[in-house]
Structure 1
């Protein structure tokens, strides 16, 4: 446990304190905000305007909603946030319920759904781009001083696992069966 704490503290200091640049603050704020479920939901509704995207609105909405699984886990693991450290300069005022990162859970749940859709429509780059975005959301939470690295890793694992479970159980009903070229 001591090694995990040392890794968390070292990773937090390296990213939150070591990377800090004033010009990066609005960049990471924007990336962090994109990890919010209601922001993702609004973007999904905008996609629904285009007829070619309408069949993916339900799976994308489910992907975004799966980010709420973090709210089930947070009360079970009372973990203080790094914003309680004297050396921290948090950019948001959260001080409790750190594990797992809800923004990261939401971003990885949606990114995993996009990965499955990308495979279905034979555009794997969509999944890679979505995973890169989700990783940046997680990184932004550390940069902004509100999560430990293990909060982000836990959120990523939870988001991926929740989406994979949904796809395993309901994938064909959501139009996420394998494309012909993969079978």
Structure 2
């Protein structure tokens, strides 16, 4: 099996897992898990927490609204410079497609947001899957996979940290259940792998004609 086929198959399995998780959580599965993790991580205003709330709100702000697309544009431009317009376009398309899919799934599953403690960020949509987690996973995971090997590993470490912190911030701010974030990570990863599969497939096609083409 070729690399592109393996990537695409993994992406499909992850997407199927997102759907399965959506049905499970709306049926009440993982309720105890969500409650336990949420209680352990939820923040409430206080002298010792105010600074952390501000940090988490800042991280969440980066992952939402127009600013997330500004970041996508910057990363896409970097990839365009390093790897060409095709790779940059793959990131842009995957980001938009995952955002649309996340919105559709939110409306379909219509899961209520957490109400254990007061919410510390503005919300206007159902909970599952987390759009912030989806966006972070597709953008930064794809960036990790596509950034040239010669680049400093700090690029990859920073991207991996953003994936984790973005999801964690949504739980800490009391606006998502842990399974919302897990579902978002899986959804974003599935679109990142789909984009990587397309890039790999195109490279395999070129390699069949010219063996000197660099592997993915």
TM (normalized to structure 2)?
A: 0.68
Residue 95 of structure 2 is aligned to residue 64 of structure 1 = yes
Q: Which residue of 1 aligns with 2:19?
A: none
RMSD value, Cα? 3.4
Larger gyration radius, structure 1 or structure 2: 2
Pick closer, same or farther for the CA change 1:18–1:57 going to 2, 3 Å.
same
Measure how far apart 1:14 and its partner are.
0.9
Q: Which residue of 2 aligns with 1:38?
A: 66
Gaps of 5+ in 2: 1-23, 207-212
Identify the structure with bigger relative contact order (alpha carbons < 8 Å, sequence gap 6+).
2
Of the candidates 42, 46, 49, which is equivalent to residue 16 of structure 1?
42
User: Aligned equivalents of 2:156 and 2:131: distance in 1?
Assistant: 20
TM (normalized to structure 1)?
A: 0.79
Q: Which residue of 2 aligns with 1:167?
A: 196
SS at match of 1:23: helix
Pick closer, same or farther for the CA change 1:148–1:49 going to 2, 3 Å.
closer
Gaps of 5+ in 1: none
Stretches of 4+ aligned residues off by more than 3 angstroms: 17-20, 44-57, 120-124, 170-174
